[in-house]
Amino acid sequence: MKVVSNTSPPIGLSNIGKLGILHEVFGKVFIPPAVRREFGGELPKWIEVTPPENRPLVSALSKLLGAGESEAIALAIDLGADFLILDDLKARKIARELGINVIGTAGVLLLAKKRGIVDEIKPLLTLLVEKGFRISDDVIRVILKAAGELNE
């Protein structure tokens, strides 16, 4: 499976000590150079920095999105990625319009639960929000319901 990530998912998961969930769910994760720069810290070996080849697409996207998002979308297309891990709503909409399967950080946590990697995602979502990660209450509700963790 080929998976490309934008910056916010690995930063958010790293901030709560759960960066390894990406590896456990997807194996290798590709990121473009702009995401590498935005991440800043040391990367594990299973994150591979790969520049997108379609520079005209990166240039066009960069008129609408940030550098990391633009390069991540272009790289996902270049690699024929199965998923692009992306949280920004505008970038997600554009990626979907380009035919890319998009999953957000909360969706990655849901996959981790469904695969038995984590027992509960509610504490992880709470911790993400406490660390300043922006996830709407509606998204949290939908994810917790899908995970069977919503007490209504």
Calpha distance 52→12 (Å, rounded): 23
- H or E stretch covering 29: strand 29-31
Distance CA 52, CA 45 (A): 19
75 belongs to a structural domain: yes
- Regarding whether 112 and 100 lie in a shared domain, the answer is no
Domain identity same for 19 and 94: yes
pTM exceeds 0.75: yes
Residues 97, 112 share a domain? no
Counting every residue, how long is the chain? 152
Q: Which structural domain, as residue segments, surrounds residue 114? A: 107-146
Query: Stretch 96-123: mean pLDDT, rounded?
Result: 97
Residues 92 and 127 in one domain: no
Angle at 1 between CA 79 and CA 22, to 5 degrees: 105
Same domain flag for 55 and 125: no
DSSP letter assigned to residue 131: T
151 falls within a domain = no
Given a cut of 80, is residue 152 above it in pLDDT?
no
Can you give the pLDDT at residue 40?
86
**pLDDT over 90, % of the chain:** 95
Q: How many domains does the chain have?
A: 2
Q: Is 152 part of a structural domain of the chain?
A: no
pLDDT tens digits, residue range 5-63? Answer: 999 999 999 999 999 999 999 999 999 999 999 998 889 999 999 999 999 999 999 99
Statement to judge: residues 23 and 93 lie in one domain = yes
Tell the residue number behind the tokens 């994810």, with chain if given.
Answer: 143
Question: Which pLDDT score is estimated for 151?
Answer: 76
Do 91 and 69 form a contact (C-beta atoms < 8 A)? yes
